[in-house]
Structure 1
Amino acid sequence: MKTPAAYNLLKAPSRAPGGVEKEDTESELERIREDLGELQYRLYAENRRSVLVVLQGMDASGKDGLIRRVFSGINPQGVQVHAFKEPTEEELAHDFLWRVHHHTPRTGMIHVFNRSHYEDVLITRVLGLIDEKEAKHRFEAINAFENLLQQAGTTVLKFYLHVSEKEQRERLTERVHDPTKQWKYEAGDEDKAKQWPEYRDVYEDVFRHCSPKSCPWTIVPSDQNWYKAYVVAKTLCQTLQDMDPRFPPTKAEKHKPE
């Protein structure tokens, strides 16, 4: 099966389109953040629906920085971030979605997954921990899981932060030489960078199998942090505007005689 053009990572842009200026984009991002603050407040007050933001990307694609840039103006009461690390012994003793479901958003909330349930069909395949038959079963389980969330009132937004091989190498090198980023360095970073083609292939397979119309992936050009944050913030803002959360009626209005 061929990869749709929209999900071909060799052809997908990793930088902002020509003519898009950083200064103008950052000014627009500031305005969007103000709108996000108001929309989140209404979503929280309405308390009927929720939003799940899934962030995936190669190592050094900038997930942490993106979260700071996009969600800095939102009331912390209405947003929770969860980073999925290597599964614990307890988590491995259950099905692969067991550890994820507990962190999905309750009504009124926005939750952000820094990595997610997709790690279980990405790194597991690159490392040879599951075979193609198991991967297919997990694709089906993921689609059913996300469909369940949507039926329960959770809008799922999935973003792949697309960095070029060149940009990734530069960022991983920074982790070695920049004292403020050395804490991010891990011994296996270089090996993971060499596996860029393998990760590209399994990501494209995810895009092919887990992109229903109700829950597609957005490929975000991510070589420039300012543009990456703008795309995610704008998409989230538009989604919330379309949801149009409303303040609930007052108690007096609820008991108002006909």
Structure 2
Amino acid sequence: MAKRKQLDDFRVPFFNGGKADKGFSFADFDPRAKPFSTGAKQADRERLIAYAAQLDEMQERLHAQRRERVLLVLQGMDTAGKDGTIRAVFHEVDPLGLRIATFRAPTLTETAHDFLWRVHQQAPAAGELTIFNRSHYEDVLVPRVRGELRADEIERRYAHIRHFEALLADSGTAILKCFLHISKDEQRERLQARIDDATKHWKFDLADIDARHQWDDYQAAYVDALAATSTEHAPWYVIPADSKSHRNLMVAALLLRLFESLKLQYPPAKESLQGITIS
């Protein structure tokens, strides 16, 4: 009998000794796999509902304490499902302590500063769960594929990212980074669906086709970026994402595990409120 997959089987090896793990490859991860699915759609839906309720309670404790911070980074090729993951996994979470930051092409003001300037402003505050829908990794991936950065500049940016994430972790931020791994065939179907449905045209950009033509370049850039920045305090996980329901379950399970590791409790009761009766 095949061994059942564990969450950490999908973790990118930690960066160690000043070098990325050159053995890491997406070839070891099947984007069509559904190792954390029950195999039944209704059962998966019920399981995600249960996860969502638990996430809501955990986030409420986080917000009530206002001490720790949680950062979830979502990256992936176009149509990998970053928006869909947010809708499906966090629909029960109280928006009071949830914030979503989306990183598009930098503005003129942002490009006048260092590449992490705009990102640090979006880091979670105490008591916040923040989701990066795309992230600071865009500022290495895109210019690398376009040939706008020299190899030494790319390596320096990896180092800056490691130090930046270490700073966040040292300041009480728990970090989880998920690469939503879809196949090229699945991306073609999702892009075509956006073209065929007029109500989804707003989600489509002709630049998506250009990026698809550079699929291999982006895949290589992602492999290098993940290998160079997966650390114990900010690990990367490869999420098989051809199945949307499996993708959602796995991200929710990883985030729940992170929350549980924080051992969050509600603040202690206030003695000054003992015996008070509201008339």
Instruction: Give the TM bin, normalised by the shorter chain.
Output: over 0.9
Shift of the alpha carbon at 1:17? 3.1
Q: Distance in 1 between matches of 2:232 and 2:173?
A: 15
Shift of the alpha carbon at 1:187? 1.3
- What are the residue-to-residue correspondences of 1:13-32 with 2, within 5 Å? 13-15=30-32, 16-17=34-35, 20-21=38-39, 22-32=41-51
Q: Which amino acid aligns with 2:35?
A: P
Q: Distance in 2 between matches of 1:66 and 1:154?
A: 21
Q: Distance in 2 between matches of 1:70 and 1:79?
A: 12
Q: Which amino acid aligns with 1:145?
A: F
Q: Which amino acid aligns with 1:11?
A: D
Say whether 1:163 aligns with 2:207.
no
SS of 2:132's equivalent in the other structure is strand
1:155–1:253 CA distance, 2 compared to 1 (3 A): farther
Which residue in the other structure is 2:25 paired with?
Answer: 8
Q: Which runs of 5+ in 1 are unaligned?
A: none
Q: Distance in 1 between matches of 2:206 and 2:55?
A: 38
Contact between 1:3 and 1:204, CA under 8 Å: does it hold in 2?
no
Q: Which amino acid aligns with 2:173?
A: T
1:18–1:217 CA distance, 2 compared to 1 (3 A): closer
Say whether 1:189 aligns with 2:208.
yes
- What are the residue-to-residue correspondences of 1:1-258 with 2, within 5 Å? 3-4=22-23, 7-15=24-32, 16-17=34-35, 20-21=38-39, 22-252=41-271
Identical positions, percent: 40
> What's the TM-score, normalizing by structure 2?
0.87
Q: Distance in 2 between matches of 1:79 and 1:123?
A: 28
Aligned residue pairs total 253
1:18–1:81 CA distance, 2 compared to 1 (3 A): closer
Q: Distance in 2 between matches of 1:178 and 1:8?
A: 35
Deviations 1:4-53 (Å, cap 9, x if unpaired)? Answer: 3xx41133111213974132222111111111111111111111101000
Q: Distance in 1 between matches of 2:90 and 2:106?
A: 26
SS of 1:180's equivalent in the other structure is helix
Shift of the alpha carbon at 1:231? 0.4
Q: Distance in 1 between matches of 2:212 and 2:37?
A: 30
Q: Which runs of 5+ in 2 are unaligned?
A: 1-19, 274-279
RMSD over aligned CA atoms reads: 1.8
Q: Which amino acid aligns with 1:17?
A: P
Shift of the alpha carbon at 1:253? 7.4
Shift of the alpha carbon at 1:248? 1.3
Q: Which moved more, 1:170-179 or 1:242-251?
A: 242-251
> What's the TM-score, normalizing by structure 1?
0.94
